[in-house]
Amino acid sequence: MRPRAGSKALIREINEALVLDVVRAHRPVARGRIAAETGLSPATVTGITARLLSAGLITEAEAVRTTGGRPARLLDLGTDAVLAAGVRLSNTEAYVVLVNLRGEVVASHREPLASTRPQDVGESVARAVRLATASRASSTLIGVGVAVSGVVDQQGGVVRHSGTMGWENVPFQHQLTALADTPVVLDSYVNSVASGLLLFDGRLTGRSLMIFSVGASLGASVVVQGRIHRGFSGTAGGFAHSCVGTGTGRPCHCGAEDCLETWSSQWGIQRELERRGETAASLVGRDDDVITSAAYRLGTAVANAAKLFGPERVVIAFTPEMNLAALTARTEQVFRCQYGHSATPPPDLELAVTGPSDHASGAAYTVLAQLFTASTSDAGTTGAGAAVTAD
């Protein structure tokens, strides 16, 4: 990338992102408030909003009368100019949604996978995105976000490990970018859900929380002051493969034994039932020692992670298949019991249900988020989040 430090183009990009972000957070909003929130001059705000209106990224909403002068025209995010695609990968299909700047889903498509071989998956995803966007020729696709179950290095664009897909160190971002001919962002299921919450839930701005996903696999997202903490090589939140066993020797798809994944994920529960000679197409209504063990280890592991980090809120998001009354109730009970003798109060606990649409939409939101936060990595000492002016 050509260095942009100190250039007027970079300054304009940063300030446009700041203005868009204020519109996103306070929509619909007057230009006067944008100036107050960003620190930009009214004249600069007028110029920036004129460009954004011309590009269709924002629209003018209704006018509101102020205490004096002419009514102020409120600004809102556009709905048709740009779209982002979000893809939720499973081992059987690529589920694609298109979302507009307001986070609204405007189209979707399901594409079956011929196999989980990365090349085959990439071709299926590229085809699914083309089919989903076929009816939206007047809109510009700004990128594709892909959510994969497992450990994902977003910066490197590599799936480090996915038991669901059977992948190890797959550079899927590079492969899909070549096939789809558009920018691609890769992330885990749980980080995709977190991206959606952070972008469109104003209550979480600047907050610290932990989000845990419980489904075919397990995952965790660590949010520090409103930003996802990814750790070295994207390994933060490696919740599924913490060892919680007692020498029982349950083999995990990662190669280790007694990972939390083998006890409390849908995959782990089904493998245990198979070892017992049972076949369970569905876990609905199940309430036995397998569920009790899964809940005990899950609740304990979530509490231990929360004690280490100290978040304001903990969200445990179950997929519909794992939204079992016995599992959710006992997990919550175990979590709260772990704080029974703690010197600090427990964080707020929220149990939620998330499915494929949440993962796919969250992946698309990861792409959208880039419009609202201009990178300043090439801007020398310019601080992120601060308005800047040209010399």
CATH of the domain at 328: 3.30.420.40
Q: How many structural domains is the chain composed of? A: 3
Q: Which of 77, 120, 68 is nearest to 101 (CA)?
A: 77
Q: Which of 223, 227, 195 is nearest to 365 (CA)?
A: 195
Res 245: pLDDT? 64
- What kind and span of H or E run contains 254? none
Question: For a pLDDT cut of 90, what percent of the chain falls above it?
Answer: 70
- Distance CA(111)–CA(122), nearest Å, equals 11
Which of 206 and 313 is assigned the larger pLDDT? 313
Same domain? 170 vs 144:
yes
Tokens of 284: 């609905």
The 10s digit of each residue's pLDDT in 176-231 is 999 999 999 999 999 999 998 888 887 777 889 999 999 999 999 999 998 999 88
Low-confidence winner among 91-100, 150-159, 347-356, 365-374 (lowest mean pLDDT): 365-374
Mean of the per-residue pLDDT values of the chain: 88
Q: What is the SS3 assignment for 176? A: helix
The CATH number covering residue 31 comes to 1.10.10.10
Q: What is the SS3 assignment for 373? A: coil
388 assigned to some structural domain: no
What is the pLDDT averaged over residues 296-319?
Answer: 95
Tokens of 270: 């089904």
Tokens of 296: 């005990």
In this predicted structure, the answer to whether residue 373 has a pLDDT above a threshold of 90 is: no
CA angle 139, 124, 91 (to 5 degrees): 120
Q: Return the number of other C-beta atoms located less than 10 Å from residue 257's C-beta.
A: 14
In this predicted structure, the answer to whether residue 69 has a pLDDT above a threshold of 70 is: no
Cβ(124)–Cβ(111) below 8 Å: yes
Q: Return the number of other C-beta atoms located less than 10 Å from residue 155's C-beta.
A: 11
Q: Which of 331, 324, 347, 314 is nearest to 260 (CA)?
A: 331
Alpha-carbon torsion (131, 133, 136, 138), positive or negative: negative
- Distance CA(101)–CA(80), nearest Å, equals 8
Same domain? 166 vs 209:
no
Same domain? 180 vs 270:
no
- Distance CA(136)–CA(125), nearest Å, equals 17
What is the pLDDT averaged over residues 143-171?
Answer: 94
Res 377: pLDDT? 43
In this predicted structure, the answer to whether residue 390 has a pLDDT above a threshold of 60 is: no
In this predicted structure, the answer to whether residue 107 has a pLDDT above a threshold of 50 is: yes
Res 388: pLDDT? 42
Low-confidence winner among 20-34, 64-78, 308-322, 336-350 (lowest mean pLDDT): 64-78
What is the pLDDT averaged over residues 351-364?
Answer: 94
Q: Which of 170, 157, 156 is nearest to 116 (CA)?
A: 170
Same domain? 109 vs 178:
yes
Cβ(390)–Cβ(8) below 8 Å: yes
Q: Which of 281, 86, 27, 140 is nearest to 269 (CA)?
A: 281
In this predicted structure, the answer to whether residue 381 has a pLDDT above a threshold of 80 is: no
3 assigned to some structural domain: no
Alpha-carbon torsion (287, 290, 293, 297), positive or negative: negative
Q: Which of 365, 376, 369 is nearest to 97 (CA)?
A: 365
351 assigned to some structural domain: yes
Residue 259: DSSP 8-state: B
213 phi/psi in degrees, rounded to 5: -110, 135
Which amino acid, one-letter code, is at 152?
V
172 assigned to some structural domain: yes
Same domain? 190 vs 218:
no
Same domain? 292 vs 366:
no
Same domain? 365 vs 227:
no
Cβ(190)–Cβ(219) below 8 Å: yes
- Distance CA(226)–CA(100), nearest Å, equals 22
In this predicted structure, the answer to whether residue 65 has a pLDDT above a threshold of 90 is: no
Res 239: pLDDT? 87
Boundary (domain end) residue, out of 54, 78, 102: 78
Same domain? 72 vs 97:
no
- Distance CA(36)–CA(24), nearest Å, equals 15
Tokens of 231: 């750790």
Same domain? 227 vs 308:
yes
The 10s digit of each residue's pLDDT in 235-274 is 887 889 988 766 678 999 998 899 999 999 999 999 999 9
CA distances from 337 to 304, 315, 349 (A): 12, 17, 13
390 assigned to some structural domain: no
Give me the residue label for tokens 């036995």. Answer: 288
For residue 67, give its domain range.
Answer: 8-78
Q: Are strands 218-224 and 313-318 parallel, antiparallel or unpaired?
A: unpaired
In this predicted structure, the answer to whether residue 384 has a pLDDT above a threshold of 50 is: no
Task: Count how many Cα atoms sit within 13 Å of the Cα of residue 103 in the half-sphere of its side chain.
Answer: 19
Res 386: pLDDT? 45
Torsion of CA 368, 195, 15, 155, to 10 degrees: -90
Boundary (domain end) residue, out of 19, 54, 78: 78
387 assigned to some structural domain: no
Give me the residue label for tokens 């859900």. Answer: 193
Same domain? 27 vs 72:
yes
Confidence of residue 391 (pLDDT cuts 50, 70, 90): very low
Same domain? 73 vs 86:
no
Same domain? 218 vs 318:
yes
